[in-house]
Amino acid sequence: MLQTLHIDLDTFLQDMDVNIAHFRHVIRQFSCHVGTFRDMEDEWSETQEKALRRDTHDCPICLSPLRSAEVVLLSCSHLLHQSCLRESELACQDRDATCPLCRSQYVSVPVPDSALLAYRTRYGS
C-alpha cells in the first residue's frame, strides 16, 4: 500500500511539472502580446470606420435593417446581425468560421452602443 501511494505521488508531481511548464509557456506568450493588445483598440476603431464608410444599411444575410437587432463587427469590417452570424457559424461547425461575405477568418466584436446610436441617427430608427 505504501508503494502505491509513492507511485501516485510521483505521478501527481510529474503532472504538476507538466502543468507548471505549460502555464509558464502561456504567460510568456501573453507577455509577448501585451503591446499588441494596446494596438488592437486602434485597429478596431479603423475597422469600425471602414465598415461605416461602406454605408451598409441591411444585414447581408437576412436583408433586414441592421438597426433592427444586435450588430457585430467582424475584423474584415463587415457588419452583421449577431444572430445571423451565429447561424452562419453553426452551419460551418466542421470547419473554421469564415465571414459569409468575403470568406476570411475573423474575430467579431459587438458594435459599441455609441456607434449604433450614430448609425441609427444617420439612417433613422
With bands split at pLDDT 50, 70 and 90, how would you rate the model's confidence at 62?
very high
Count of alpha carbons within 13 Å of 90, Cβ hemisphere only? 6
Percentage with pLDDT > 90 across the chain: 17
pLDDT exceeds cutoff 90 at 61: yes
Residues 90 and 120: their CA atoms lie apart, in Å, by 29
Which domains are seen in the chain, by residue range? 2-123 (3.30.40)
pLDDT exceeds cutoff 80 at 12: yes
Q: Is the pTM of this model over 0.85?
A: no
Q: Give the pLDDT confidence of 15-25 residue by residue, as tens digits.
A: 888 888 888 77
Beta strands in the chain (DSSP E): 71-74, 79-81, 108-110
